[in-house]
Structure 1
Amino acid sequence: MQSRVDVDLALVGGGGAASLVLAALDRHGVRDLRVAVVDPVHRRGQDRTWAFWDRPGSDLDPLLSASWRQVEITTPAARRVLDLAPLRYAMLRSGPVYARAAEAERRLGATRVVAAVQDTHDDGDRVLVRTGSGPTVRAGWVLDSRPRPPARAGRTSWLQHFRGWWLAADRPTFDPARAALMDFRTPQPARGVSFGYLLPVSDRYALVEYTEFSPALLTGAGYDAALAGYRDLLRLDPSRLTVREVENGVIPMTDAPFVARPSPRVVRLGTAGGATRPSTGFTFSAMYRQADQVARALAAGRPPVPEPAYPRRHGWLDAVALRALDRGSVGGPDFFDRLFARNPAERVLRFLDGTTTPGEELAVMRSTPLLAMVAATAGDAAHRVRDRLRPARSAPPVPAVVRDGAPPHP
């Protein structure tokens, strides 16, 4: 076996973030670049689903499983049908993404190292990537998308955790023109927010999911009971349904900082690089933007360092929103219902994705419970001061992310 592989760019981790980078390099015609992908698993098939907002006409269109121009937001008091134009809500399963990345990998002539990474050493000129069972990779730059804990513990640390059933019906059952995005009629946890959603791919096939934003996970039986309850709430007859697949996932929702540039020539992508929006769990759009920025930079002969996933002010907004939800000063169903009731749908969706302007963000903030958010802002400011005056706490480990960024959300 070759003892060392010399490349210009090493992708450490071969999941969604790396796959998007490979596809972007190919899309932007980057050639004469030596690339290695280092991951213990050569990923194929359906192991996760991404959901996100975008405009029709992107290069992702041929890969989508489904998309919707109309979505429903439901609370115990009201049901809102939102027209998302000019945006859409889109579903992308991992199989086509991995297949496109494999084709890009072939066209780029990339080297695949199927081995776990033991450590990386950045001397400022090159990065040594040491593996346990494969060759050492020496790279000019490393893009690392492996899960990593934040730099320190957050003031608020929640999890977005969920289980979904892919349901096949024996007769036309679902409306493929409309998705149920956030249905807050589910029983709400004592501390946190829960909702269900329904993403129909056809009139006989759909993803039905139960999601919680809360500090702790449920048991497997707890998720199944919640899903069965939501299925019954939707008046779906279980005798006419078959569960074809089950999806589970955990995404961190925290104001703890993730270090996107741990050393001069190592750049982190995905959740470890800050691509997950703390208040929503959305990840895919930020990963896609950053992959495109990396490819454009390399095509122009610049370092492959993307912009921060979200404006800095959004980190503060997320910290305040998480604090208000965690302290119970605002209720999740009321909070999201007010956002959609008092703003155009496009503005809310772009806010959830982190692409609004300061003026639009001010309008969104005005639609939230003012006194509660002012109190959360003051509490967050006081907590920040206390953090500066005491030793840093170590951050808890980040649970494995089975699926990146699903409805709001996720």
Structure 2
Amino acid sequence: MTGRRAAGQAVNGGVPGAVDDAVVVGGGAAGLCLAHWLARNGTAVTLVEAPDGPLRPPERTWCYWEAGTGPFEEAVTASWQRLRVRGTDGVVIESDPAPLRYRMVRSGPFERLVHSRLAAAPGARLVRATVHEVREAACGAEVRCTTPGGRPLTLRGGHVFDSRPLRGTPPHRTLLLQHFRGWFVRTAAPRFDPAVADLMDFRVPQPRHGLAFGYVLPLAPDRALVEYTEFSRAPLTTGAYESALRQYTGSVLRLGRFTVESAEQGVIPMTDARFPRRTGRTLFRIGAAGGATRPATGYTFAAVQRQSRAVAAALHRGRPGVPPPHGRRALAMDAVLLRALDTGRVDGPRFFTDLFRRVPIERLLRFLDGGSTPWEEFGIGLRTPVGPMLRTAAELPFLARRATGRSEESHR
């Protein structure tokens, strides 16, 4: 498919009557990734982002693992060659997942990188506007919005890819929330090893339902992102997160004197809901709204990259569509784990600690990214509490899906 809009049209403004090959709604990770790959394929694309104000989310952190150097390496804030998990008893499991490397991307630098690439692409433009309606039209699809100055604006494209968060979670059997608050801290003395990231540190008080852990991403010997995270049914108050972080940084990490330079907070739905990726003949959902969040972990960024490349390639071939971001086997296994955690049949801290202890970390990360073989998955399954997991798998087909809960945009 070739771009239908004339090259060189202005960024940050709508062009009356123009019809793009695609309009991408939302400037989060999914929208930015897809706009990047569409523009790279020569597709005429408009990316519409919310203007400055309450609809624009604060800066966020996205993490993923990848081998080699990826297309967005310039936006990587930090990366780690070694990963660590700590059990409730303090046992340390540290591994090198080579050839994979754990990476952190901050939304600000990532947005600036993609914007610069779109500005250099002849068929791409960026529009700042508030979207009110997405609908099918004679040209394909229309996006009705309002500019920051209050002027109505209609964007037209052959197809629309919408990454805005859903208002509610689709019907599901299990819905847990991964909710967290993190501090970017600077310590008075060196306290961190910049070569090692702590993925899960279970040396925190465990809630009555679900599990909790610390998450430490060192940026320098005296700087790090330190998070308190829970997997449970309801988020905490900001005060409760702050109290948990004070306990973790003081009693567990023993950071001494430090300053909090900034903070971030978020909620990620972990659910076995089925997310429709097509809402009309020319209307699609992408990103977390299209099911890109891995149900058992909350990670989204790597799946968004894979999905975006596939969508751009399909549209370029004239066969538009949004492929499933995760395979059926992965989703089935995740559904069993979520149910087992939600019912309390498995002890969360022990489950994850044993998994990282018993499975080579490179294989485990490939499994969590959907890149493992059926034989590898069978081996991983044998290293979980087999009885409770089989009992859970047997009951899942008989459970009704219900429509309750609320969905938020994925944070990492």
Provide TM-score, normalisation by structure 2: 0.89
**Quick one: which amino acid aligns to residue 61 of structure 2?**
T
Name which of 243, 254, 257 aligns with 2:274: 257
Name which of 199, 207, 210 aligns with 1:192: 210
Partner of 2:119: 106
Cα separation, 1, equivalents of 2:327 and 2:383? 21
* CA distances 1:85-121 after superposition (whole Å, capped 9, x unpaired): 1111111111221011111221234333322222222
Q: Structure 2 unaligned runs (5+)?
A: 1-13
**Quick one: which amino acid aligns to residue 44 of structure 2?**
R
Name which of 114, 119, 122 aligns with 2:136: 122
SS at 1:135 equivalent: strand
Name which of 74, 84, 93 aligns with 1:80: 93
4 and 123 in structure 1: CA distance in 2 versus 1, 3 angstrom threshold: closer
Matches within 5 A, 1:209-358: 209-239=227-257, 241-298=258-315, 300-358=316-374
**What's the offset of the Cα at 1:322?**
0.6
SS at 1:65 equivalent: strand
User: Quick check: 2:188–2:256 contact (8 Å CA) kept in 1?
Assistant: no
* CA distances 1:105-140 after superposition (whole Å, capped 9, x unpaired): 212343333222222222586012122443111210
User: Quick check: 1:22–1:104 contact (8 Å CA) kept in 2?
Assistant: no
Number of aligned residue pairs: give it.
391
Cα separation, 2, equivalents of 1:25 and 1:152? 28
Name which of 147, 171, 189 aligns with 2:165: 147
Partner of 1:408: none
**Quick one: which amino acid aligns to residue 190 of structure 2?**
P
Cα separation, 1, equivalents of 2:237 and 2:227? 15
Matches within 5 A, 1:54-93: 54-77=66-89, 78-93=91-106
Cα separation, 2, equivalents of 1:371 and 1:11? 46
User: Quick check: 2:366–2:372 contact (8 Å CA) kept in 1?
Assistant: yes
**What's the offset of the Cα at 1:303?**
3.2
Cα RMSD (Å) = 2.2
SS at 2:152 equivalent: coil
Q: Structure 1 unaligned runs (5+)?
A: 406-410
**What's the offset of the Cα at 1:181?**
1.2
SS at 1:310 equivalent: coil
Partner of 1:11: 24
**Quick one: which amino acid aligns to residue 107 of structure 1?**
A
**What's the offset of the Cα at 1:3?**
5.2
Cα separation, 2, equivalents of 1:201 and 1:351? 27
SS at 1:10 equivalent: strand
User: Quick check: 2:286–2:322 contact (8 Å CA) kept in 1?
Assistant: no
**What's the offset of the Cα at 1:273?**
0.5
Partner of 1:30: 41
Partner of 2:62: 50
Identity percentage of aligned residues: 41
User: Quick check: 1:343–1:364 contact (8 Å CA) kept in 2?
Assistant: yes
1:394 matched to 2:403? The reply is yes
Cα separation, 2, equivalents of 1:161 and 1:234? 20
